[in-house]
């Protein structure tokens, strides 16, 4: 199935896997993907920035919640 993804989509998933590994997560969820996209230099980060999102703060907060083991939907 992974081979059906575009090159950019595969890259985003691989980056999300790295975010999960860095945080010692046993699963990958939307926060890992969001961090990966926000840290990349691609169109997702541009869209976040254009929408007024402080990507540095978003990444910092998301990584802290991931590493703390906070539930995705408490």
Reported as a pLDDT band with limits 50, 70 and 90, residue 74 is: low
Q: What is the mean pLDDT of the segment spanning 4-21?
A: 93
Q: What integer pLDDT is reported at residue 72 of this predicted model? A: 75
Helix, strand, coil percentages in the chain from 3-state DSSP, rounded to 5: 70, 0, 30
- Break the chain into its structural domains and give their ranges: 2-68
**pLDDT tens column, 14-63:** 999 999 999 999 899 999 999 999 999 889 999 999 999 999 999 999 99
- Spatial CA neighbour of 31 closest among 2, 60, 1: 60
The predicted model scores a pTM of 0.87
């Amino acid at each position: 199935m992974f081979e059906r993804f575009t090159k950019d989509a595969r890259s985003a998933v691989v980056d999300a896997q790295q975010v999960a590994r860095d945080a010692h997560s046993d699963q990958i969820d939307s926060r890992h993907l969001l961090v990966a996209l926000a840290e990349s230099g691609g169109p997702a980060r541009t869209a976040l920035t254009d929408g007024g999102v402080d990507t540095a703060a978003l990444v910092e907060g998301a990584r802290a919640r991931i590493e703390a083991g906070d539930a995705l939907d408490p």
